[in-house]
Structure 1
Amino acid sequence: MQFKTDPSSVTREDLASELENCLTAIPDFSELCLPLLMEKLDSSLRIAKLDSLRLLRAACNNFTASALGQHYMELFRLMQSELLPGSDRELKDASLLALSALVRLFSTSALDKHEANWLPDLLAAKMVRSCLVAESGLCDVELIMFSPATSVLLEVTRASPAACEVLVSKVIPVLVAQYNFKKGDRERSILLQTLGSFHTVCQEHRDSLSSKSQF
């Protein structure tokens, strides 16, 4: 066998990238690719998790929403521990990118009546609820996890206008209720800044939709 390139120059990243392209080459591969992806994501090996999260992003670009929708609850469960508390920054960032890709896919695909519930269920029933449990911080600005929880929610809010609508409708009332209850200037200042950040994302989506409608 003759190699066009020196085999010794091929890196692990090169092989992983080519395997990723093969596994997501056509939509029909989803039936085999997604179980493998989830198995690797559930691994205790950090590199396996990173590979699987990158593979999930590729899957969102090449597979149908219907294929991924069959596994969205398990996918979120596997990513949840990497998002919060998010002690490993690289894994957290990779998880956010993968989750945002999944959210965009659900937001932009033509879904039937049943499938249309996937996005609000993923965001409101799963994601927001996980951020509202006592130890996760969204429920109290004074908790150490408040900032990580809101940063995760903000990032996913940026994924699509539909995601923004779902998340803002659930998160803003929680933040406003805290603002009305809290008396400390520091806590109220943090809440105002957080509310302002969500408002900025909403404005960005509105401006984007407005500019597209002009063409």
Structure 2
Amino acid sequence: MASTATNSILESMKEVPSMKENLKKAFEDLQSFSPSLLRLPFQWNDIDNHFSSIERSINLRISHLKPDAEALNTLLTTSPKDLASLKEDLASALASSSDPAKLVLESVRAFNALEGEAGRSEKCKMAYVYLLEVLLAEIAPSVREGARGLAVDWKRRVGEDATTVLDVHLFLRFLAAFELAPAFDAEEVMELLTRMARKRKAVGLCRELGLGDRMPGP
């Protein structure tokens, strides 16, 4: 019964973006109808932030009740504007799972399966970077093997011209989280690291990937 109710809530949550858009239009129409007579003590951003806070709270609770990839992805794709505040929520969600590494793998796999850029905004990509950063659980051999298979296919796409710096960062963070760097050519991994814009991030990742000895000197 609880699972059915949770699934029902998840389905209903998918309608929230369109409902918010309709509410925004109604709010703007109301303001334009009589701007001199109607001076509201708040702006649309205040309403939007309030709804986003409620939505995030609901998604976090669902991720605890139903710790699976669908619930986790919902939490990630409705993350707050301040992505740094998402880390604590993600760590809490993973703690509710019996196999955090498997959950993260399934979540990242689903994200990678999305066609085009729909649902793959820079904000979402950064949210997944944070997800991989908070994965500290032990990784079962079968899960690591599944991650390796995903990484092999993923790497082919990372080499494409349209790949952004954040795409590279996300891929390398995935390798680090699942300890997969030894499965790839070290020179190729180092080449990807050089494409990262923020040197400090690249240096930290280089060490986590076990390639610290290949870092150029100062």
Give the TM-score normalised by structure 1. Answer: 0.42
Q: Relative to total residues, which structure has the larger helix share, 1 or 2? A: 1
Give the TM-score normalised by structure 2. Answer: 0.42
